[in-house]
Amino acid sequence: MTQGILVINAGSSSIKFSVYAVTDGSSLELHSKGLIEGIGGKPYALAKGADGSPIGERNWREDEPNDFQSCFAELVRWLLPHLKGMDLVGVGHRVVHGGPELNRPVLLDPKTIEALEALIPLAPLHQPSNLLAAKKSLELTPDIPNVACFDTAFHRTQPRVADAFGLPSAYYDNGVRRYGFHGMSYEYIAARLPELAPELADGKVVVAHLGNGASMCAMRDGKSVASTMGFTVLDGLPMGTRCGAVDPGVLLYLMDKEGRDSKAISDLLYKQSGLLGMSGVSNDMRELKQSNEPKAADAVDYYVYRIGRELGSLTAALGGLDGLVCTAGIGENDADLRERVCKDAAWLGVELDKDANRNGAVRISTPKSAVSVWAIPTNEELMIANHTFNVIRG
Ligand code: ADP
């Protein structure tokens, strides 16, 4: 029987899953993937094979329980028959926060989950659903090892100056630090560099993860030395609906002058800001590009501008720059945006090869560009599957 690894990425109202088959005893190959959305409302699940063809679809009836735990249980029950001939040997969970110490994936048991629950105040929007899924999974699959992979773990190599805030040091000691996120994506890119761009593997590289969530990471020798995301997933670049860097004084203003409480401010910063808030049109880059609304163009201008500023800042943290890698939905697909970013980075010695950029090449800078530029698709799920398999194998 083929061994399989199930990867779970649980959000507050949706759960994405992927199944990887173990081939040749050690390589992982995508078998199927899918999602369940509308949790808490009218859930709907869809599974697709590795080639994208639908292999299963399910609509919840009105009288069926639609809470997170029931939906997860039903997902597992519904998914298993689709994995005929596969022996599930591990479940890997994306968990947003591993705290200040955890720098690698861990095997989950009730005690570990309890320790991770203590980190909920650090990531109140993501950690609870990540752990609910992990708990339910342990209950439903007690004989299968469950592994947590953290978005923060990759950044634990950062020096203290990079992960500290200018607050009294007791706050640092109590965990108020810059954690950095999107670690699975950065780790995946770092793992691809030796093969795709060997000259960068031990160089000074900035990776721009530009998806719905967006951040940038400075890496030296494939290790994180600084990142734009901080204590939470709000800092740094503007995102689909998140604000990115904001002067903390703005928050005091919102409280004192507008009388907003933390819930209202949280909604504003996480859900009503970024590309959506600035444009008033959409959180989706493709829709902004097609819009004639001037504010849509303003939002994209701001996005490009902030990438340029963060690139300068991360280059300073690295003491130079050998390569820039663009990844995730926008970074991988939006040639026009990459062109604008590279134009603004000409002062660093970036010279874009416009044809390569338009034609889907991996290396998109000219041979004489002082800084090489790359568009590399990320694969966070595969990274989680790999980690899970490695933890299981000890
Ligand atoms: P998530 O963080 O949810 O995984 P993705 O990495 O899928 O997000 O990125 C979503 C973003 O990528 C959206 O803003 C979407 O508009 C953008 N995107 C996807 N394809 C393209 C494209 N061809 N051109 C421009 N933007 C794109």
Classify strands 54-59 and 27-37 as parallel, antiparallel or unpaired.
Answer: unpaired
Contacts of residue 314, Cβ cutoff 8 Å, sequence gap at least 6: 206, 216, 217, 218, 226, 228
Check pocket membership of 366 for ligand 1, CB cut-off 6 A: no
Residue 134's pLDDT is 96
Residues, the chain: 394
DSSP 24-92: TTTEEEEEEEEEEE-TTSS-EEEEEETTS-EEEEEE--TTS--SHHHHHHHHHHHHGGGGTTEEEEEEE
Secondary structure letter of residue 171 according to DSSP: H
Probe target for ligand 1 pocket from 207, 237, 333, 378, with the most ligand atoms within 8 Å of CB: 333
Atom of ligand 1 nearest to the CA of 213: 2
| Inter-residue contact 57 to 46 (CB < 8 Å) | yes
87 is a catalytic site residue: no
Taking Cα atoms as reference points, which of 86, 88, 80 lies closest to residue 146?
Answer: 88
Check pocket membership of 290 for ligand 1, CB cut-off 6 A: no
Q: What stretches in the chain show pLDDT beneath 70? A: none
* Atom 3 (ligand 1) nearest CA: 212
Which residue among 151, 163, 322, 334 is the active-site one? 151
Using the mean position of ligand 1's atoms as its centre, give its distance from the Cα of residue 25 in Å. Answer: 34
In angstroms, rounded to a whole number, what is the distance separating the alpha carbons of residues 314 and 319?
Answer: 9
Residue 78's pLDDT is 84
* Atom 24 (ligand 1) nearest CA: 334
Residue 209's pLDDT is 98
* Atom 13 (ligand 1) nearest CA: 284
Q: Label residues 186-212 b or e (16+ Cβ within 10 Å = b).
A: bbbbbebbeeebeebbebbbbbbbbbb
Using the mean position of ligand 1's atoms as its centre, give its distance from the Cα of residue 379 in Å. Answer: 14
Atom of ligand 1 nearest to the CA of 286: 16
Residue 212's pLDDT is 93
| Inter-residue contact 300 to 284 (CB < 8 Å) | no
Residue 394's pLDDT is 84
Here the tokens at position 148 are: 């947590």
Bridge partner residues of 3 (DSSP)? 87
What's the distance, CA 179 to chain centroid?
13
Q: What are phi and psi of 305, to 5 degrees?
A: -60, -45
| pTM score | 0.95
At 160-212, the pLDDT tens digits run: 999 999 999 999 999 999 999 999 999 999 999 999 999 999 999 999 999 99
Helix runs in the chain, H state only: 68-79, 110-117, 127-140, 160-163, 169-173, 183-196, 198-201, 248-256, 262-271, 274-279, 285-290, 294-318, 328-333, 335-344, 354-358, 380-392
Residue 77's pLDDT is 87
20, exposed or middle or buried, with CB in 10 Å at 0-12, 13-18, 19+? buried
* Atom 27 (ligand 1) nearest CA: 330
Probe target for ligand 1 pocket from 16, 334, 339, with the most ligand atoms within 8 Å of CB: 334
Secondary structure letter of residue 101 according to DSSP: T
Check pocket membership of 285 for ligand 1, CB cut-off 6 A: yes
Residue 83's pLDDT is 83
Residue 79's pLDDT is 85
